[in-house]
């Protein structure tokens, strides 16, 4: 990945969706999807961010919580658009209620797997280990193992692998755009320029998830080793704080890619090798369309 002083002249971010990519720059979002007939469909809209509603959400830690909420709600909307773009008939399209139910089930499973299960395993270990610090560290290591193991497992699924290719396309296009240091250029990048970039990026959701798991190890140790029910309460109550701290660390590291803070982001970059794969040119075209969509107005004029 090319890293230089122009890395963060203008920030863009996004996520891979079903046969497409979502990009967001500030309050403009665009979702580009390769439809079954081979055409690229682009949906563009302005979004109201939580940080725009209350000044407190621009403060350190709180801005990380705000960013997480925005990423989740906008990500769900992008996924719904991409899923419906693949539908061949109206009957195949997902309703808002169906998408909400699907995401609710996914959240319950994620909480059970990444919060409840490590806490229960920690309680089992406490029968043999009495050192509170060691117990918290072991619980955190187990949580990290679950995260990496889960990613490694689903990466073997063909459909998920396809999404990971679009994830790689998203990163390559953003890397190429940021390396040019020209946020007003249109088109933002060409396929060949993106092809020269790496598939990893400091501000990736994968890095954020891994950083959350790492930060939780240190923050949870501050509360000792109370009963399992109290630990569960602490884990859930501290999740926003953990997310906020993780966000700040990633921001510091990405803005100073040669600084000490960036060193702690390396594990996230390594794990991104599991969640990104080299895309083909058609996938890069979709990612470029998404980036151009969030940089330009409805009439196609640069903002």
Each residue's pLDDT tens digit, 180-204: 765 555 557 899 999 999 999 988 9
pLDDT at 55 over 90: no
Among 52-61, 146-155, 206-215, which is the least confidently predicted range?
52-61
pLDDT at 150 over 70: yes
In a domain, 215, yes or no: yes
- Provide the domain limits for residue 69: 13-295
- The mean pLDDT value for 45-70 works out to 86
In a domain, 185, yes or no: yes
Q: How high is the pLDDT of residue 52?
A: 81
HEC string of the chain equals CCCCCCCCCCCCEEEEECCEEEEEECCEEEEEEECCCCCEEEEEEECCCHHHHCHHHHCCCHHHHHHHHHHHHHHHHHHHHHHHHCCCCHHHCCCHHHHHHHHHHHHHHHHHHHHHHHHHHHHHHCCCCCCHHHHHHHHHHHHHHHHHHHHHHHCCCHHHHHHHHHHHHHHHHHHHHHHHCCCCCCCCCCHHHHHCCCCCCCCCHHHHHHHHHHHHHHHHHHHCCCCHHHHHHHHHHHHHHHHHHHHHHHHHHHHCCCCHHHHCCHHHHHHHHHHCCCCCHHHHHHHHHHHHHHHECCCCCEC
| Rounded Cα–Cα distance for residues 209 and 136 (Å) | 18
In a domain, 182, yes or no: yes
**Number of domains making up the chain:** 1
Q: How high is the pLDDT of residue 244?
A: 94
Q: How high is the pLDDT of residue 197?
A: 94
Give the pLDDT confidence of 19-50 residue by residue, as tens digits: 999 999 888 999 999 998 889 999 999 988 87
Give the pLDDT confidence of 72-115 residue by residue, as tens digits: 889 989 999 998 888 766 666 777 788 888 888 988 999 999 99
In a domain, 301, yes or no: no
In a domain, 22, yes or no: yes
Give the pLDDT confidence of 126-136 residue by residue, as tens digits: 999 989 999 99
Residue closest to 172 by CA, chosen among 82, 271, 286: 286
In a domain, 227, yes or no: yes
Residue closest to 264 by CA, chosen among 219, 218, 221, 210: 210
In a domain, 3, yes or no: no
pTM of the full structure: 0.88
In a domain, 1, yes or no: no
């Amino acid at each position: 990945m090319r890293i230089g002083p122009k890395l963060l002249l203008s920030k863009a971010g996004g996520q891979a969706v079903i046969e497409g990519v979502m990009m967001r720059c500030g309050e403009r979002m665009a979702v580009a999807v390769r439809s079954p007939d081979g055409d690229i469909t682009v949906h563009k809209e302005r979004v109201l961010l939580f940080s725009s509603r209350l000044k407190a959400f621009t403060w350190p830690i709180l801005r990380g919580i705000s960013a997480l909420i925005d990423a989740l709600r906008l990500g769900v909307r992008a996924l719904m658009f991409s899923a419906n773009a693949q539908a061949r008939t109206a009957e195949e399209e997902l309703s808002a209620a169906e998408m909400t139910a699907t995401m609710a089930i996914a959240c319950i499973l994620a909480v059970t797997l990444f919060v409840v299960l490590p806490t229960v395993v920690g309680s089992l270990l406490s029968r043999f280990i009495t050192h509170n610090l060691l117990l918290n560290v072991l619980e955190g290591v187990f949580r990290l193992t679950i995260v990496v193991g889960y990613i490694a497992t689903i990466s073997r699924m063909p459909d998920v692998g396809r999404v990971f290719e679009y994830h790689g396309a998203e990163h390559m296009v953003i890397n190429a755009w940021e390396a040019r240091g020209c946020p007003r250029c249109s088109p933002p990048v060409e396929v060949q320029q993106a092809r020269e970039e790496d598939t990893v990026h400091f501000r990736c959701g994968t890095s954020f998830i891994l950083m959350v798991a790492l930060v939780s190890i240190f923050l949870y140790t501050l509360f000792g080793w109370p009963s399992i029910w109290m630990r569960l309460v602490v884990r859930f109550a501290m999740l926003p704080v953990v997310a906020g701290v993780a966000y700040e660390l990633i921001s510091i590291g990405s803005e100073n890619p040669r600084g000490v803070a960036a060193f702690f982001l390396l594990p996230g970059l390594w794990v991104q090798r599991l969640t990104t794969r080299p895309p083909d040119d058609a996938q890069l075209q979709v990612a470029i369309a998404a980036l151009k969509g969030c940089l330009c107005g409805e009439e196609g004029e640069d903002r």
